[in-house]
Chain A
């Protein structure tokens, strides 16, 4: 894609394990269904009809919640959570790359490594997503879904318009993320490089010794098989 990048020697690295890829595509499918049915349930358009939209939305929402619990288990037992620790180091370099360097064909300042899959910008975005936005969406959705039990649960003080409003705002935030995310996966060394990695696990990246000690996820007992 860029002149500089093709000058470098490319290496194939195994970035995403089978479970990670499965989880990524499952979650993306669930989220797309939830967006389509959720906006319809809110009344923005008519596609499947309110009944079908609401029923599918509820079912898929609960499915997502259960599947997310497995992801949380995975992220902590494998130690992959460390990939999400936010940092400001090289943040400005990454920002500068996306607003300037990318047009000049400069190499990415923080290339992907198995031990450092996310650049500082990604770390921040994915942490916000996984630790805040998605849980807020799940919690507001669960509350919305269980509206009829609020009284029994001592949650009678909750306001349905507020819960629904938070849930709607979250939906828009996720849709905005999705648009930027889908665009960003075209910014690898080729248009399809990032997508290919998320399908088969392997990605071609430039071989450089730019990964610094702090970026590397410390190896622990919980991450066997990484050598």
Chain B
């Protein structure tokens, strides 16, 4: 699923403040909403499908049943200050169109987390705002975008007190544990997050799967929604089936800070699940370390002739071909691809997809960090899928083990036979 043809919805958060049509200049830095980051009243609300604009008069959004009110501009403008967790959270905790959808480590529970959820941001602890680590320089916010790592140098504040505080090591250094603790030796290959975020979505469930192929079912001729045991929607006529999970053990990959992705022009292999994006890195890459991820799986439309992913037109006015109006994939895909300016053969099907999200927030108290044997084990260890590194406790040498046990059992059998011989011969003599 993608942005093209659905801009008015996506641009309520993503770049495109005031988007009207495809002539919008996404590079124009003046098209940035100051208030969403800096206002402190908490009353500045954007209309979900208004390209980032608040409403001019009270308007009901049918998607969530909420009536959006125009802001009191004077109060909002006079309140501006340094961005808080709430400012950042208003977009980043609700990515993917709602709370708990995209990131397993960022959701509405992070507005006021406790220590058990996030040691840094806890209101009963350090109470960090996002900007404590996501430091800025002339409005350039430290952090990661997919193609660019958050940091390339492992600099700490001890070395340079103006260094961005974006990495754990910026403050904690590469040897954060007490001298002599083995974990200090792990920081060359294992990211801090791998051990210190044992599970994500620890307060609220997170969406783990989104099956678009089942969308479009009607109840009494009308679109409907269904909630599951976690209180979250498991079916939505607009969107298909969802799977939600809480306290999720992350997946682990070699990761150098870059994430690569399939574009709408890249050919895919529909005979197996399509990784729409993947962490870049390998055991040989000196900048790569093992890092935790949320893997979101799904079923999405693709072009069976061109073997490319397809963009449906989801959101649009009532007379448009948008899926959420007519519930017709064929019309929605043709419209979406046309608006994206990409070829569509007219033949589509759904393919299994996966999408990775790095996990870096929700750092747990140190007592809750991952214990050694969760990785150093042969059965169902966290590192089961990690190749290219010898892991004691997981990797043995089966040949040496078989030969070794043969030697040990051979010795045992030998001495037992010898002992038996001595016992028998002695009895014979005594008898």
List the interface of chain A (C-beta within 8 A of B). 1-3, 41-44, 46, 49-51, 54-55, 98, 102-105, 147-148, 160-161, 164-165, 168-169, 171-173, 175-177, 179-180, 183, 186-187
Q: Which residues of the partner chain A approach B393 to less than 8 Å between Cβ atoms?
A: 41-43, 50, 54
Q: Is the interface of A mostly helix, strand, loop or mixed?
A: helix
Complex CA gap A207/B246 in Å reads 79
Report the minimal beta-carbon distance from B131 to chain A, rounded to whole angstroms. Answer: 35
Question: Please, which residue of chain A has its CB at the minimum distance from the CB of B421?
Answer: A103
Contact A43:B392 (CB < 8 A) given known A164-B397, A172-B403: yes
Contact A43:B390 (CB < 8 A) given known A103-B422, A180-B414: no
Give the contact stretch, choosing among B8-16, B252-260, B272-280, B373-381.
B373-381
B182 located at the interface, meaning its Cβ lies under 8 Å from any Cβ of chain A in the complex: yes
Complex CA gap A173/B378 in Å reads 23
B66 located at the interface, meaning its Cβ lies under 8 Å from any Cβ of chain A in the complex: no
Complex CA gap A74/B412 in Å reads 33
- A46 x B397 contact (CB < 8 A): no
- A50 x B401 contact (CB < 8 A): no
Q: Which residues of the partner chain B approach A168 to less than 8 Å between Cβ atoms?
A: 396-397, 400-401, 404
List the interface of chain B (C-beta within 8 A of A). 182, 185, 188, 371-373, 376-378, 390, 392-397, 400-401, 403-405, 407-408, 410-412, 414-415, 418-419, 421-422, 425-426, 429
- A172 x B404 contact (CB < 8 A): yes
Q: Can you add 12 more A-B contacts, CB < 8 Å, to A54-B392, A103-B425? A: A41-B376, A42-B393, A43-B394, A43-B396, A44-B396, A50-B393, A147-B185, A148-B185, A148-B188, A161-B397, A172-B403, A180-B415
Contact A179:B392 (CB < 8 A) given known A3-B429, A168-B401: no
Number of A-B contacts (CB under 8 A): 96
Q: Which residues of the partner chain B approach A171 to less than 8 Å between Cβ atoms?
A: 404
Report the minimal beta-carbon distance from B51 to chain A, rounded to whole angstroms. Answer: 53
Contact A43:B419 (CB < 8 A) given known A164-B390, A164-B392, A172-B407: no
Report the minimal beta-carbon distance from A164 to chain B, rounded to whole angstroms. Answer: 6
- B412 x A179 contact (CB < 8 A): yes
- A54 x B395 contact (CB < 8 A): no
- B415 x A46 contact (CB < 8 A): no
* A-B contact list, 28 entries, CB within 8 Å: A3-B429, A41-B376, A43-B376, A43-B377, A43-B393, A43-B394, A44-B396, A50-B393, A51-B371, A51-B373, A54-B376, A102-B422, A104-B425, A147-B185, A164-B392, A165-B400, A168-B396, A168-B401, A169-B403, A171-B404, A172-B400, A175-B404, A176-B410, A177-B411, A179-B408, A179-B411, A180-B411, A180-B414
Report the minimal beta-carbon distance from B240 to chain A, rounded to whole angstroms. Answer: 42
Complex CA gap A169/B376 in Å reads 20
Q: Which residues of the partner chain B approach A183 to less than 8 Å between Cβ atoms?
A: 415, 418-419
- B400 x A169 contact (CB < 8 A): yes
Q: Which residues of the partner chain A approach B372 to less than 8 Å between Cβ atoms?
A: 49-51, 54
Question: Please, which residue of chain A has its CB at the minimum distance from the CB of B419?
Answer: A183
Question: Please, which residue of chain A has its CB at the minimum distance from the CB of B376?
Answer: A50
Q: Sorted from nearest, which 10 A-B pairs have the closest CB atoms?
A: A172-B404, A183-B415, A50-B373, A51-B372, A103-B425, A160-B390, A50-B376, A176-B411, A148-B185, A43-B393
Q: Which residues of the partner chain A approach B390 to less than 8 Å between Cβ atoms?
A: 160-161, 164
Q: Which residues of the partner chain B approach A3 to less than 8 Å between Cβ atoms?
A: 429
Complex CA gap A50/B401 in Å reads 18
Report the minimal beta-carbon distance from A41 to chain B, rounded to whole angstroms. Answer: 6
Contact of B407 among A41, A148, A176 (CB under 8 A): A176
Complex CA gap A175/B396 in Å reads 17
Q: Which residues of the partner chain A approach B377 to less than 8 Å between Cβ atoms?
A: 43, 46, 50
- B395 x A44 contact (CB < 8 A): no
Q: Which residues of the partner chain B approach A179 to less than 8 Å between Cβ atoms?
A: 408, 411-412, 415
Q: Which residues of the partner chain B approach A103 to less than 8 Å between Cβ atoms?
A: 421-422, 425
Q: Which residues of the partner chain B approach A169 to less than 8 Å between Cβ atoms?
A: 400, 403-404
Report the minimal beta-carbon distance from A157 to chain B, rounded to whole angstroms. Answer: 15
Complex CA gap A148/B175 in Å reads 13
Q: Which residues of the partner chain B approach A177 to less than 8 Å between Cβ atoms?
A: 411
- A176 x B408 contact (CB < 8 A): yes
Q: Which residues of the partner chain A approach B426 to less than 8 Å between Cβ atoms?
A: 1-2, 105
